[in-house]
Chain A
Amino acid sequence: EPEVTQTPSHQVTQMGQEVILRCVPISNHLYFYWYRQILGQKVEFLVSFYNNEISEKSEIFDDQFSVERPDGSNFTLKIRSTKLEDSAMYFCASNRNYNEQFFGPGTRLTVL
């Protein structure tokens, strides 16, 4: 069964460094998302991406964040200058239509 995959599974970085989190959505899906989950808290929406542009973003998704679909398979989230409070699990999700969203296993980002 097709799955969303994410790399790396764990990323440790120094505060102020740039990180790029990578996702490969399910191949015939058209809508792509990033969510984050701070330890012990609920899943929070960051951004959605459709037709090569951002379709919706939350107040969390400020100028430090960007997304890109550099080719036909990858979907990336970049954090330009990481802060301690960016430490969280980051989940990529995708779907073919508006409804069910399928999540990847996540990348645990630790900012020191």
Chain B
Amino acid sequence: GQQLNQSPQSMFIQEGEDVSMNCTSSSIFNTWLWYKQDPGEGPVLLIALYKAGELTSNGRLTAQFGITRKDSFLNISASIPSDVGIYFCAGRRSNDYKLSFGAGTTVTVRA
């Protein structure tokens, strides 16, 4: 499958801080998705992006579809304890059905 490079791999943050993570790919994607996964559960869709340059918010979450179509970032503002989890980026190329996933960013929030 396609290689998505997601960074950082993990982060420890103080409650109330902002969080940023990103994904880059060598391939062009038509769709970027951001998921959150809690331990032992399935990925839950947070934000979907469909157009280059698109900036979309969902509450304290903001994500952008890079203009090159090869990258995306996710910001979490004013983090709270329930933001703990693993965040995955996923992309879909134009002729694919499948999603390719990044390796995940593990977020731990210190109260």
Identify the A interface with B (CB < 8 A).
Answer: 4, 31, 33, 35, 41-45, 48, 50, 55-56, 58, 91, 98-106, 108
Asked whether A31 lies within 8 Å of B97 as measured between CB atoms, the reply is yes
Chain B contact patch, size range? 20 to 34
B34 to chain A, nearest CB (A): 11
Cβ contacts under 8 Å, A101 to chain B: 33, 45, 90, 99
Task: From A33, A43, A106, give the contact of B41 (CB < 8 A).
Answer: A106
Please measure, in the bound complex, the distance between the C-alpha atom of A58 and the C-alpha atom of B104, giving whole angstroms: 21
Please measure, in the bound complex, the distance between the C-alpha atom of A50 and the C-alpha atom of B97, giving whole angstroms: 10
A34 to chain B, nearest CB (A): 10
Asked whether B97 lies within 8 Å of A44 as measured between CB atoms, the reply is no
Please measure, in the bound complex, the distance between the C-alpha atom of A55 and the C-alpha atom of B98, giving whole angstroms: 10
Cβ contacts under 8 Å, B59 to chain A: none
Identify the B interface with A (CB < 8 A).
Answer: 1, 31, 33, 35, 40-45, 48, 50, 88, 90, 92, 96-104
Asked whether A48 lies within 8 Å of B98 as measured between CB atoms, the reply is yes
Please measure, in the bound complex, the distance between the C-alpha atom of A21 and the C-alpha atom of B16, giving whole angstroms: 41
Asked whether B31 lies within 8 Å of A99 as measured between CB atoms, the reply is yes
B71 to chain A, nearest CB (A): 17
B56 to chain A, nearest CB (A): 12
Cβ contacts under 8 Å, A56 to chain B: 96-98
Task: From A31, A33, A45, A48, give the contact of B1 (CB < 8 A).
Answer: A45
